Structure 1
């Protein structure tokens, strides 16, 4: 349930003044000059050549919302919707959109009171957020068709506004305001920001899973030497190697002595690429996410609706353009999908090596805790990672290259960014599960050799992660209903319990 935040958003006096100045010009064009301006005195899309009279503006705004609020499918997460509302309020406050300050204040009232519009995910083509933001518009105007969540209950916007004591309940939009709400890629942007922060955390959790797995295979640490990383110069690579060294600091398992405990008499020299090149691979993911951050830092404060209004020496101008287009965000999502999928590929390969006696350096087949054959062990647990990676590879096919013309060819190029959003959400969910499987397999491997490693300490960070997992999930000495243990481990990943345990050791 959403709990009202102590932080309250407000429109600054300077922003109010800027917005009012542009609004006065819009009203002048409407009432005195009868200028042809897209979306204000004209219809939308293919209907741009049809004039809309000033006297019809109120009903025009209402009909825009009703005709566009046709999204279907599941609702966006509450946090994403709230972020989209804040982003749209910020864009409108820049003074390029021609709305009234009252509309922006209405959005902020919803935010501050904890009224969360329910916005379907399917319908937007990524050349703007016409459908999802139209659903937001219905809620803002207090229409009975607008659906919201308030104090944990779903209902009509009209009822929620009454319950929250917000007046007026009905809030008619003025000329220009429906399109100003809908034109742009705000809902896509909110989802990219959400995905970006989830992906950053998962890239660090992948370092944690890798480190725990290094204990399980008594891995060779030279590959993480800082000198190797500096010789390549990739910032994310340097960060990943440092994280692994910090997590494994003090470990005697990842030493020649540790390896001898399970019968290795010759130096390991180097591990497989999925371990040895993990700084380079995890690091490349982090560098891609750094690029994503630069895109988002621009987009958060970008004016993305159409038309836009600008003041100059000769007065105000209305300019129609394409800032609403979500191409840059679609490309960004596709890039995130690709690198997170490859991160899952690495994790799956590392957990698979633990189950294979030919690659695990002395671990029992399938990580079986009892008699092999009588017990099957973790083969089917790890098979989940294989299945998830297979799906992720399909989901990582770029959405941005799939433009389909729409609306009488007026929108003859669409970024398909909202489709990319939906794929990215699934990829993040899948990656969380793949990393949970690696962590669970590594913990099982540690238990199976712990007696032979008696007297040797684990790393400061990896010991904490192992102990945390074991507080929630016991080792499996004989086959049992392991699905429940897997689900518990997945929850520890999803709610970031594991990451918080060693956050102080990570950069």
Structure 2
């Protein structure tokens, strides 16, 4: 049995990004409900049970059909069948499956919403979700279908697995199959599970899958920002950049804390660098003071800081969303009576806007990285680095085509940066006549992040190559403590390229270091003073 320290306790009110981060990082963390949440869920569920026997009570999705079928009555005796049919009719998603990590987050988030009580589900239903989650059973959830006003299609696929329906598919320890077989492999008994009144609707209502994917994208974006700082510092070292641009006085008067933090991080990476001095610049023929670098170098702290500032705003949205009652209808208790109210809390407008905003700043992160990389391949812009970063030009092409990938990917990212949130299209007989389109927003954002990861990997690879090409010229001069450590770590796995060779495997290795976050694990938490030469 796991120890108490390996549990994440959820109560519908205190889930935070820090706890989510821990959950992402620790796949063995178990989830359980707090005692207060259990009592609250049971209390609110009692109202649903009472309403079911009250023939005069009309509650959307409980005693009525769904959508335009809201005027049709559903009898109490048909509730179990109704739940199953809701799942079967809605589980029509298409496209590739979401990554397991996103599905895992979605199940956690929906259980947390239910812990608030307002959804009116049974405690047994929440425990069923946690049972699959804690056993490592992850439903296969297609990405296409949701319009961002409740993730009806994707969450219905999760529902089929929860009830053990053969129409559902799931994964367990690398195996994929129909849910009864997967549940049996995970030793989940009973394999079948019946949902009761309101539970199927409560599961699929709310933009849970979008939120899960948004949180995971945000997690990756945070990593990207840190890696971008590393790449920029290595680039500044390679181009013997002018350090005055990182003077804290400049950033203090600009009144943006995230910019000040970024400048400090860059200074720590470059602390002790003699390459970025007049003496270092003279080694490649610069006899006059540099004065200042191009904008992509000189304003790195300002741009990266602004991107981080936007991400902080987006985190505030995600923090609120993960502890909100996202359902319809919702149940309320005034201390004496229960009341059911229909509304629109399932709408994903907040998320859609945030996702589009995140896409915009990720685009600029890739743009400025590509510009910094481009400078390294041009002898004029790099102040004397060899053309295309190859020792013997002409016979060898060098890194021109490696960098062309970054140019191509920035072009794609710019196309994907077009906002999805402004593209509402009515659906379902105009009952849903305004849709957030948040699923489209998060799907393209996930692709944008993947492309940006590759762009940054290219900057790291070419900056490391640039350093190798001029290291002989720089003999007797120290690199920065952090940049020296980064370069050394890269060279433990990837050799410099003195003459043309098949470089793709090295590029793919560098991309994996970025995508996995492995490179970040070498330099926590960006305090370069702790890194010995």
TM-score range, shorter chain: over 0.9
Matches within 5 A, 1:224-303: 224-303=246-325
Tell me how far apart the structure 2 counterparts of residues 314 and 456 of structure 1 sit (CA, whole Å): 77
- Compare 290-299 and 2-11 and name the one that shifted more: 2-11
Tell me the residue number matched to 1:311: 333
Tell me how far apart the structure 2 counterparts of residues 183 and 333 of structure 1 sit (CA, whole Å): 20
Tell me the residue number matched to 2:486: 465
Contact (CA 8 Å) 1:23, 1:99: kept in 2 or not? yes
1:399 maps onto 2:420 in alignment:
yes
1:12 maps onto 2:34 in alignment:
yes
Shift of the alpha carbon at 1:138? 0.3
Tell me the residue number matched to 2:137: 115
Tell me how far apart the structure 2 counterparts of residues 3 and 375 of structure 1 sit (CA, whole Å): 43
Tell me how far apart the structure 2 counterparts of residues 114 and 202 of structure 1 sit (CA, whole Å): 28
Tell me the residue number matched to 2:470: 449
Shift of the alpha carbon at 1:235? 1.2
- Compare 3-12 and 478-487 and name the one that shifted more: 3-12
SS at structure 2 position matched to 1:310: strand
Tell me the residue number matched to 1:156: 178
Tell me the residue number matched to 1:346: 368
Tell me the residue number matched to 1:492: 513
SS at structure 2 position matched to 1:458: coil
Tell me how far apart the structure 2 counterparts of residues 436 and 266 of structure 1 sit (CA, whole Å): 33
Residue by residue over 1:26-84, the C-alpha shift from the partner in whole angstroms, topping out at 9 and shown as x without a partner, is 11111124311111111111111111111111111110000000001111111111111
Contact (CA 8 Å) 1:204, 1:506: kept in 2 or not? no
Matches within 5 A, 1:334-373: 334-370=356-392, 372-373=393-394
Tell me the residue number matched to 2:196: 174
Tell me how far apart the structure 2 counterparts of residues 268 and 313 of structure 1 sit (CA, whole Å): 72
1:23 to 42, 45, 48: 45
Tell me how far apart the structure 1 counterparts of residues 320 and 441 of structure 2 sit (CA, whole Å): 20
Shift of the alpha carbon at 1:22? 1.3
* Ranges in structure 2 where 5+ consecutive residues have no aligned partner: 1-23, 529-533
2:525 to 473, 490, 504: 504
2:443 to 416, 419, 422: 422
Tell me how far apart the structure 2 counterparts of residues 481 and 159 of structure 1 sit (CA, whole Å): 45
- Compare 118-127 and 32-41 and name the one that shifted more: 32-41
Residue by residue over 1:255-280, the C-alpha shift from the partner in whole angstroms, topping out at 9 and shown as x without a partner, is 11000111111100000000101111
2:97 to 75, 85, 110: 75
Tell me the residue number matched to 2:3: none
Shift of the alpha carbon at 1:5? 5.0
1:184 to 203, 206, 209: 206
TM-score normalised by the chain length of structure 2: 0.93
Shift of the alpha carbon at 1:95? 0.7
- Compare 26-35 and 344-353 and name the one that shifted more: 26-35
Contact (CA 8 Å) 1:4, 1:113: kept in 2 or not? no
Tell me how far apart the structure 2 counterparts of residues 113 and 301 of structure 1 sit (CA, whole Å): 24
Shift of the alpha carbon at 1:313? 4.8
Residue by residue over 1:425-458, the C-alpha shift from the partner in whole angstroms, topping out at 9 and shown as x without a partner, is 1111111100011111111111111111111011
Residue by residue over 1:189-242, the C-alpha shift from the partner in whole angstroms, topping out at 9 and shown as x without a partner, is 111110111101110110100000011100000000111110011111011101
Tell me how far apart the structure 2 counterparts of residues 84 and 22 of structure 1 sit (CA, whole Å): 23
1:54 maps onto 2:76 in alignment:
yes
Tell me how far apart the structure 1 counterparts of residues 463 and 87 of structure 2 sit (CA, whole Å): 53
SS at structure 2 position matched to 1:251: coil
TM-score normalised by the chain length of structure 1: 0.98
Shift of the alpha carbon at 1:4? 9.6
SS at structure 1 position matched to 2:111: helix
Tell me how far apart the structure 1 counterparts of residues 141 and 159 of structure 2 sit (CA, whole Å): 10
1:141 maps onto 2:180 in alignment:
no
Alignment RMSD:
1.4
SS at structure 2 position matched to 1:9: strand
Tell me the residue number matched to 2:151: 129
Shift of the alpha carbon at 1:296? 1.1
* Ranges in structure 1 where 5+ consecutive residues have no aligned partner: none
Q: For this pair of structures, how many residues does the alignment match?
A: 505
SS at structure 2 position matched to 1:32: coil
SS at structure 1 position matched to 2:474: coil
1:327 maps onto 2:349 in alignment:
yes
Tell me how far apart the structure 1 counterparts of residues 240 and 380 of structure 2 sit (CA, whole Å): 15
Matches within 5 A, 1:38-49: 38-49=60-71
